[in-house]
C-alpha cells in the first residue's frame, strides 16, 4: 500500500473513528487499557454471542496511532469468532514485531506494517489489541 493511502486511512480513522462512545447496555465486557509510558488511556467494550464478537465499542484519550488502530481493529474484528480474532491478533503482533505474517488476514490493519520503525509508537498500535486479549480472557472465565 502506498504511504499516502496509508496516511489517509489512519487519519480518517483517527478523525472519524468507528464505534467511538460507550453504551450503557447489559451483556458487554468492558476493560480499560493504558500504555506504560502513561499517555494513552482507552476503554473498550465488546459483546459476544456464541463466541462471536457482535459489537465492539471504545472511548478514551489516545494519540492518532492508538485511536486509529482501535477504530480499524473494531471494523476488522466485528463478526469474527474468538479463534479467528486470536489468529488475527497473533498475525498483527507478528507484523508490528517485523516477523513473517499473513497479510490477507489483516485487511486495513496493514497500514501499520512499518510502525516498528518508530519504537515508541509500537506500543500505541498494540494497545487496542491488549484490550481485546483481556476481553477474551474474561469471556473464557
Give the residue ranges of DSSP H helices in the chain: 3-15, 64-77, 82-96, 119-139
- Let me know: does 31 contact 44? Beta carbons within 8 Å: yes
Number of residues that bind other proteins (CB under 8 A): 20
Q: Which is nearer to other proteins, 73 or 135 (CB)?
A: 73
Residue 40 contacts other proteins per CB under 8 A:
yes
Draw the binding track, 65-84, toward other proteins (x: CB under 8 A; -: no contact): x-x-----------------
- 124 in contact with other proteins (CB under 8 A): yes
Among 29, 31, 63, 105, binds other proteins (CB under 8 A): 63
Question: With binding defined as CB under 8 A, does residue 126 bind other proteins?
Answer: no
C-alpha span between 128 and 62 (Å, rounded): 10
Please name the helix (run of DSSP H) or strand (run of DSSP E) that holds residue 47, with its range, or none.
strand 41-49
Is residue 10 part of the contact set for other proteins (CB under 8 A)? yes
Residue 59 binding other proteins, by CB under 8 A:
no
Find the Cα–Cα–Cα–Cα dihedral 30, 35, 40, 45, rounded to 10°.
-10
Amino acid at each position: 500500500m502506498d504511504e499516502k493511502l496509508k496516511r489517509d486511512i489512519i487519519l480518517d480513522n483517527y478523525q472519524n473513528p468507528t464505534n467511538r462512545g460507550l453504551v450503557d447496555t447489559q451483556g458487554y465486557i468492558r476493560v480499560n487499557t493504558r500504555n506504560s509510558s502513561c499517555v494513552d488511556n482507552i476503554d473498550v467494550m465488546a459483546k459476544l454471542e456464541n463466541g462471536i464478537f457482535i459489537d465492539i465499542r471504545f472511548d478514551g484519550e489516545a494519540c492518532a496511532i492508538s485511536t486509529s488502530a482501535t477504530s480499524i481493529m473494531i471494523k476488522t474484528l466485528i463478526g469474527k469468532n474468538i479463534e479467528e480474532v486470536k489468529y488475527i491478533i497473533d498475525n498483527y503482533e507478528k507484523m508490528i514485531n517485523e516477523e513473517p505474517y499473513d497479510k490477507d488476514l489483516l485487511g486495513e490493519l496493514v497500514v501499520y506494517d512499518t510502525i516498528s520503525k518508530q519504537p515508541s509508537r509500537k506500543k500505541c498500535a498494540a494497545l487496542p489489541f491488549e484490550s481485546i486479549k483481556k476481553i477474551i480472557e474474561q469471556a473464557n472465565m
